[in-house]
Structure 1
Amino acid sequence: MTVNRSLTTAAVALVCAITVLGAPGTAFADPAARPTPQPTPGSSTPKSDKTLEEVRKELERLYHEASVATDQYNAAQEMADEQSKQIVELAQDIVKGQAKLDALKDRAGAAARDQYRTGGLPTEAQLMLSGDPKGFLDGAGRVRQGQQATKGLLTDMARTQQDLELYAKDASTGWKKLEANRKAKAGAKKKVKQRIADAKKLESQLEKEDRERLLKLEQAAEFKAQSTWLNSGILDEINSKASSQGKKAVAYATKQLGKPYQWGAEGPKTFDCSGLTSQAWAAGGRGIPRTSQAQWAGLPRIAIEDMRPGDLIIYHDDASHVGMYIGDGAIIHSPRPGRTVTIAGAGSMKILGVVRPDK
């Protein structure tokens, strides 16, 4: 392990430890040795750690469901954008096809009018009646050419008509899918807002002291998970350097530190988790899927011990969260509503796997 990695890892651990252990009333303190907080006049009795832990788990559930719904919203939005683009292209094809068909019909009409002017006799009959053998032979060649041209005209008209019918059918199908995705997006949006509102309502019911202790419990849970992950010796296996594109992606993500989380946002002022990673890699010169679930499904997967800065760590069994690995056991991510883009321990949440955009 390099000196730089050791120092950075120690620094991350020290910050977590100071934050979590340096405050009274955390999960690492002995509850029996801690004085029972006394309520101030007019305030409610502070909740026990057990009750606050239940609140923490409920908030975790609500924000997780909001994250899942956010991914669904983003996916529906992306699909709707793509379908709208396809419908516009089909409409343009229909306009061009109709113009072509109209032109072909004009040519067919001109041929019919010409035949009418000659009394309706076929061209071959007119040549035979002309009494001019040389003219007949010369005209016969032109007749064959004309017949082929007429046959080609009719074939072209039939093909153009078929194309128009296919374009119209595809446009109709695309419109139905667009409407379905709009409904899915609206449903996901409603669910996101409801879960966030439920979470905020739950937090608003806590006294200021309880909210502060709740934050310490959240940090303690993350610190415990990160410590377990680091104690596995995983960092001894991770020593790969970032690619040139990965460095650019990390640099972009780093510049966003402190910006607020906003579900469905891709910057530049606010981000959700996958909005941050997708924009960071766009800055690195590589377009990747918009959502964490699509990133997990569509990008090359690698072993944790082989990951390098710039790789994306996908979290939870449903791939509902993503962070960017920056080295030394840390990630940059946009956590949830009420939080900002920040650095956290890579092992502070349940890891599903790792993907590499530039593999």
Structure 2
Amino acid sequence: MSPVERRNVGRGAAAARAAVVLCVAGVLVGAAPAAYADPAPDGKRDLEDVRKRIDDLYRRAERATDAYNGAKEQVERQQKEIVKLAKDIVSTQERRKQLKKRAGSLASAQYRGGGLPAEAKLMLNRDPEGFLDNATLARKGQHAVRTVLGQLARTEDDLQGYAQDASERWDRLEKERKKKAAAKKDIEKKIDAAERIESQLKAEEKERLKKLEEDRAHRAQTKWLDSGILREIGGDASAQGKKAISYATAQIGKNYVWGAEGPDTFDCSGLTMRAWEAAGRTIPRTSQEQWRQLRRIDIDDMRPGDLIIYHEDASHVGMYLGDGAIVHAPRPGRQVTIAGAGSMRILGVVRPDAKG
């Protein structure tokens, strides 16, 4: 029975619920893996120190990934705005051309009339009916000229405004492109450093390192469960939440790739964004913006489909499945998987649902 199916089971005793959670994919609870720490005196590597160094590098890469994703989103937004402004400028230039043509026609008509303004012709006309006709024509002519000149002036102002806005947009675009490039370089540098460290390990050391990671996650999850938190959490997923969970869990086994939004690879926030998009809800692209913009929920009120934001800098996110489990995209070299909701430091919980 999957975590998604189990969330519909009635609430049991805390111990029973914890036991169920601990069985999920062998990562939530169960027999605790042995703790590994190579002694330094005999010349062996201190794998716990290696684990911390690698974890720190990937954490910093994840923070840079959030910066990259944010800059990428801004670049795309600025590009769309610039395209829109370009269209506005073209249409306004065409309008200005037409207004100038109309203004020229009015000037030509006045010239063909002998160069006399309509008011002078009005004074020289001795025919009462002609006087009234000329008076009407004079008013209409004056109004037409004022209207065209006013429209032309507003059009010139619009063009100047569009040009200024376009210039500012280009400046912002260039700044975001530089931020994006710098973040990309930072990410690649840190991931390369982590991979170099791992590549220097022997096969048996890599296996022990993996067990160390599991052991750390197990201890954190056990501590979280021992707090009795599951006695407080028992909400049911909304209709949208169920759709988001269905999408997210269908991606299990796909590789983590920084900056990826699917459909074949994901980073942590790319997965949650696409999952809620599949549920009909547009949410921010990055975990930091998800934390900043989405409605925050007390952890006691958490329900399946909600997003758990991790670490003090909101650099990681996972989707709560119920029974103390999440689905998330962990880091480079790992796949989308199920993990304990308390296996990392929780910053808070947000709810993407529009209502409820």
> TM > 0.5 between the two?
yes
Which residues of 2 match residues 209-220 of structure 1 at below 5 A? 209-220=204-215
Q: Which residue of 2 aligns with 1:42?
A: none
For 1:258-297, what per-residue CA distance to the aligned partner results, in whole angstroms no more than 9, with x for missing partners? 0000000000000000000000000011000000000000
Task: Report the CA distance shift for 1:222/1:7 in structure 2 as closer, same or farther (over 3 A).
Answer: closer
2:22 pairs with 1:27: no
2:22 pairs with 1:47: no
Partners of 2:115 and 2:294 in 1: CA distance:
68
2:85 pairs with 1:87: no
Q: Aligned to 1:293, which of 273, 281, 288?
A: 288
Partners of 1:146 and 1:222 in 2: CA distance:
83
Tell whether the 8 Å contact from 1:313 to 1:323 is kept in structure 2 after alignment: yes
Q: Which residue of 2 aligns with 1:36?
A: none
SS of the aligned residue for 1:269 comes to coil
Q: Which residue of 2 aligns with 1:12?
A: 24
2:11 pairs with 1:2: yes
Q: Aligned to 1:250, which of 230, 236, 245?
A: 245
For 1:91-136, what per-residue CA distance to the aligned partner results, in whole angstroms no more than 9, with x for missing partners? 1111111111110000000011111112211012123323322111
Tell whether the 8 Å contact from 1:47 to 1:210 is kept in structure 2 after alignment: no
Q: Which residue of 2 aligns with 1:67?
A: 62
Partners of 1:18 and 1:289 in 2: CA distance:
36
Using the TM superposition, give the Cα deviation of residue 2 of structure 1 relative to its aligned residue in structure 2, in angstroms. Answer: 2.0
Task: Report the CA distance shift for 1:54/1:7 in structure 2 as closer, same or farther (over 3 A).
Answer: closer
SS of the aligned residue for 1:188 comes to helix
Partners of 1:17 and 1:28 in 2: CA distance:
18
2:150 pairs with 1:169: no
SS of the aligned residue for 2:277 comes to helix
Using the TM superposition, give the Cα deviation of residue 152 of structure 1 relative to its aligned residue in structure 2, in angstroms. Answer: 1.3
Number of matched pairs: 341
Tell whether the 8 Å contact from 2:330 to 2:336 is kept in structure 1 after alignment: yes
Tell whether the 8 Å contact from 2:308 to 2:318 is kept in structure 1 after alignment: yes
Tell whether the 8 Å contact from 2:237 to 2:304 is kept in structure 1 after alignment: yes
Using the TM superposition, give the Cα deviation of residue 10 of structure 1 relative to its aligned residue in structure 2, in angstroms. Answer: 3.6
2:332 pairs with 1:323: no
Q: Aligned to 2:103, which of 102, 108, 121?
A: 108
Unaligned runs of 5+ in 1: 33-44
Question: 1:240 corresponds to which letter in structure 2?
Answer: G
Provide TM-score, normalisation by structure 2. Answer: 0.92
Partners of 1:6 and 1:177 in 2: CA distance:
50
SS of the aligned residue for 2:77 comes to helix
2:220 pairs with 1:197: no
Tell whether the 8 Å contact from 1:248 to 1:284 is kept in structure 2 after alignment: yes
Tell whether the 8 Å contact from 2:25 to 2:338 is kept in structure 1 after alignment: no
Tell me the percent identity: 58
Partners of 1:85 and 1:195 in 2: CA distance:
32
SS of the aligned residue for 2:332 comes to coil
Tell whether the 8 Å contact from 1:309 to 1:325 is kept in structure 2 after alignment: yes
Question: 2:236 corresponds to which letter in structure 1?
Answer: K
SS of the aligned residue for 1:99 comes to helix
Partners of 2:212 and 2:59 in 1: CA distance:
17
Question: 2:23 corresponds to which letter in structure 1?
Answer: A
SS of the aligned residue for 1:83 comes to helix
Using the TM superposition, give the Cα deviation of residue 150 of structure 1 relative to its aligned residue in structure 2, in angstroms. Answer: 1.2
Q: Aligned to 1:157, which of 141, 152, 162?
A: 152
Provide TM-score, normalisation by structure 1. Answer: 0.91
For 1:27-69, what per-residue CA distance to the aligned partner results, in whole angstroms no more than 9, with x for missing partners? 179x89xxxxxxxxxxxx8835xx1000000001100010001
Partners of 1:161 and 1:232 in 2: CA distance:
68
Partners of 1:47 and 1:201 in 2: CA distance:
18
Question: 2:292 corresponds to which letter in structure 1?
Answer: A
Tell whether the 8 Å contact from 1:226 to 1:348 is kept in structure 2 after alignment: yes
CA RMSD of aligned residues (A): 2.0
Using the TM superposition, give the Cα deviation of residue 6 of structure 1 relative to its aligned residue in structure 2, in angstroms. Answer: 5.2
Partners of 1:84 and 1:161 in 2: CA distance:
24
Tell whether the 8 Å contact from 2:27 to 2:214 is kept in structure 1 after alignment: no
Using the TM superposition, give the Cα deviation of residue 17 of structure 1 relative to its aligned residue in structure 2, in angstroms. Answer: 5.2
Task: Report the CA distance shift for 1:14/1:255 in structure 2 as closer, same or farther (over 3 A).
Answer: closer
